[in-house]
Amino acid sequence: MWLNLICNEIALKMTSFIARYKYFFFFLLFLFFFIKLLDKSSSQESIKIIPQYLPLKSQLCLENTECIKLEVAESSAEKNLGLMQRVSLHGNSGMLFPFNPPKKVAFWMYKMLFSVDMIFIFEGQVVAVISNVPICSSLPCPTYGPESPVDGVIELVSGEAKRLNIKQGKSISINSILVPAD
């Protein structure tokens, strides 16, 4: 009997306590779920990306004998990272993304800090040039690329394709640069 009295007294006090502070509990519950929601939505944006600097292994040589040195993104990881978080490209340089076998590609500008010109190539011919592609700092980002397969993509600083007179249908030559062995 005394146990029943104690249980009733505790239940009465708990009910009174919950009734008195129910709005506070609802507020805490709301705050907890709101913070969790914000944490999930910003987790992709908060990933720190370290820029990559690849060796200059190839060059794009033009008819006027001007050559543009190219960093080559060979692995999937290198291609996925591309020029993200780079402040700029050095003068007369760019990045080459080779694809063997050729395939249809779509590039984006996520986490890029400068605009580029994208030159899509198939068997030594320029398939498409997309100039002055704008940066994209948050998801979702638009993608860029031709409908046909390519075996390479070159990214140059915005305006370089026009300056170099690189247009759709133009033949171009990409050659390896001999890198001295260490």
User: Does 7 score more than 60 pLDDT?
Assistant: no
- The confidence score (pLDDT) of residue 15 equals 64
Q: Could you tell me if residue 109 is inside a domain? A: yes
Is residue 150 situated within a structural domain?
Answer: yes
39 and 76, same domain (yes or no): no
pLDDT at 29: 46
Q: Are residues 88 and 140 in the same domain?
A: yes
Model confidence pLDDT, tens digit, residues 94-123 = 999 999 999 999 999 999 999 999 999 999
The range of the structural domain enclosing residue 143 comes to 56-176
pLDDT value at residue 178 = 73
Based on the fold, state whether residues 67 and 37 are members of the same structural domain. no
Decide if 49 is inside a domain.
no
Indicate if 27 and 68 belong to the same structural domain: no
- pLDDT band at residue 90 under the 50/70/90 scheme: confident
Within a domain: residue 48? Answer: no
Within-domain flag for 20: yes
For residues 30 and 64, state if they share a domain.
no
To the question of pTM greater than 0.85 for the whole model, the response is: no
The reply to whether 79 falls in a domain is yes
Q: Choose the weakest-confidence range: 11-15, 50-54, 86-90.
A: 11-15
Task: Say whether pLDDT at 18 is over 80.
Answer: no
Long-range contacts of 131-140 (CB under 8 A, 24+ apart): 131/158, 131/159, 131/161, 131/162, 132/158, 132/159, 133/107, 133/109, 133/158, 134/109, 135/109, 136/108, 136/109, 136/110, 136/111, 136/112, 137/110, 137/111, 138/45, 139/44, 139/45, 139/110
In the predicted model, is pLDDT for residue 161 greater than 90?
yes
Same domain, 99 and 122: yes
| 57-75 per-position pLDDT tens digit | 999 988 777 889 999 999 9
Q: 80 with 131, same domain?
A: yes
Q: Do 78 and 162 sit in the same domain of this protein? A: yes
Judge whether 81 lies within some domain: yes
Q: 38 and 60: one domain?
A: no
Confidence check: pLDDT of 79 > 50: yes
Are 27 and 98 contained in the same domain? no
Tally of domains within the chain: 2
CATH of the domain at 114: 2.60.120.1140
Give Cα 168 to chain centroid, integer Å: 26
149 and 80: one domain?
Answer: yes
Q: For residue 85, is it within any domain?
A: yes
- Smallest CA-to-CA distance from 128 within 99, 161, 95 is with 161
- According to the model, what pLDDT value does residue 35 have? 57
